[in-house]
A and B are shown apart, each in its own frame.
Chain A
């Protein structure tokens, strides 16, 4: 699992808090959080996904999670990109059990043992896990809603404050994973990359998410 060194440098914590890059993510997180009905739901779940594979797509959910954690919201970042998991390396977390192990319902694997603390206060990471790759997608379709419910219960029990679960997934048009996750989370946001995402891809991804009853809230534009 090799990641270009430049990509490892793009986490929000690598930049000054008042830089344009940091402010853009803070604003993005604020805009997303304005849509929450905190009285109704204390544990928000959301997915950020690109229409097609893009080098460094995991940076967006990771940075939104950092922005949320930095604003005091207990946040769990879930690396549900089971094909090319990158977040555990980005956050300097060793290869641990994670989401795929929870999905496989391996004995002695509990949510508490799979969550990893990160160098960002209030932010924990649920890595992709160690289950062989070919089994992961199948497990995702069968067990994901249980894991998401478990995450919400876990946050409700451990945190008094409203909390957040952010999913990073493979591209919408590249696999079924994003669509499956979109079905179980409360909000889905499409990440479009200026000068990279075509109109056709954006429209197709939107249709795919909407056809499967995912709650597509809006989109984020990268590289503007």
Chain B
């Protein structure tokens, strides 16, 4: 089949290709519309807060000669806070949400009387969404927590609240034990964990949203639909037994062709016919 034949197949079955592409384009368009309407889907905001983890000094523990032990315990606490389930727990999320509400005067002062807090305005989902928006990295005892949110004000408010909640309640979430040498051993009193905000919540930076790559995928889907449509057109042509070209009929019947008559021209090209016999 030469190139012109391929083209004629495509033109003949254009309706199939168009149908597939239109259906998939409508689906892709709807999906894109939904993504555009979803805050934070294409573009989100991130704010960071940095904490320093240490052990709280106490008059009961005056032997500070072995600082190595203090540092080692602090690192262990930092690690469990960073990589453990604390940040993603519902309890921590609820506490952060309550803190955001408590911080509202501060937020209004920074972002105006009606700050756009995104999903934070929806109490039903806010606590869970906060838990899902937090990620943390650590360098020794320095933990950087990032809050990703669909509005700049929300991201900042969460990061700020995370810092405050961590500083106030870290010992509620992470702990360690020291036992005596008695049998059975009992837990002895020890210095509690402490957290201090070293770098407050940063101004929110733009980051790609959770579905930022989806528009490209939808575009690829339309292109794939085009290819599928073309493949379908050729499949239909292959399954179609009808004769279309004179050469095909010559090859099939092994008979000569005596004439090729074009389609009946439209009535506009005709002249008026007399129906009266001449004789």
Chain A interface residues (CB < 8 Å from chain B): 6, 9-11, 13-16, 19-21, 24-25, 27-28, 31-32, 56, 59-60, 91-93, 116-121, 189-190, 192, 194-200, 202-203, 206, 216-224
Contacts and interface: CB of A to CB of B under 8 A. Distances in A.
Interface in B229-279: 241-246, 248-249, 252-253, 255-265, 267, 269-271, 273-279
Contacts of B243: 192, 194-195, 197-199, 202, 221
Contacts of A24: 259-262
A9 B275 CA distance: 11
Interface of B: 241-246, 248-249, 252-253, 255-265, 267, 269-271, 273-279
A199 B241 contact: yes
Contact of A15 (B248, B256, B271): B271
B249 A21 contact: no
Given A15-B269, A195-B242, A220 B257 contact: yes
Contacts of A194: 243-246
7 closest residue pairs by CB, A with B: A28-B259, A92-B275, A117-B279, A117-B277, A218-B256, A198-B241, A14-B270
Contact of B263 (A13, A116, A219, A223): A223
28 contacts: A6-B264, A13-B273, A14-B270, A14-B271, A15-B269, A20-B262, A21-B261, A31-B258, A31-B259, A32-B258, A60-B261, A92-B276, A93-B277, A119-B275, A192-B249, A195-B242, A197-B243, A198-B243, A199-B241, A199-B243, A199-B252, A216-B255, A218-B257, A218-B258, A221-B259, A221-B260, A223-B261, A224-B262
A189 B253 CA distance: 12
Contacts of B275: 91-92, 119
A197 B269 CA distance: 27
A121 B273 CA distance: 13
A219 B274 contact: no
Given A32-B258, A220-B258, A223-B261, 8 more contacts: A24-B261, A27-B259, A28-B259, A121-B278, A198-B243, A200-B241, A221-B261, A223-B262
Contacts of B256: 217-219
Contacts of A60: 261
Given A91-B275, A189-B258, A221-B246, A203 B270 contact: no
A15 B270 contact: yes
A16 B259 contact: no
Contact of B265 (A19, A118, A199, A200): A19
Contacts of A197: 242-243
Contacts of A16: 269, 271
B276 A119 contact: yes
B47 to A, nearest CB: 66
A194 B264 CA distance: 13
Nearest to B248: A199
A8 to B, nearest CB: 9
Contacts of A199: 241-243, 248, 252
A199 B244 CA distance: 10
Most buried by A among B252, B260, B273: B273
Given A19-B265, A21-B261, A221-B260, A206 B274 contact: no
A217 B258 contact: yes
Given A119-B278, A194-B245, A224-B262, A218 B255 contact: yes
A92 B256 CA distance: 34
Contact of B257 (A118, A196, A221): A221
Nearest to A15: B270
B273 A219 contact: no
A217 to B, nearest CB: 7
A217 B258 CA distance: 9
Contacts of B259: 24-25, 27-28, 31-32, 220-221
A190 B261 CA distance: 13
A195 B271 contact: no
Contacts of B274: 119
A21 B242 contact: no
A198 B249 CA distance: 10
Nearest to B12: A195
Nearest to B243: A197
B279 to A, nearest CB: 4
Nearest to B246: A221
A3 to B, nearest CB: 13
A215 to B, nearest CB: 12
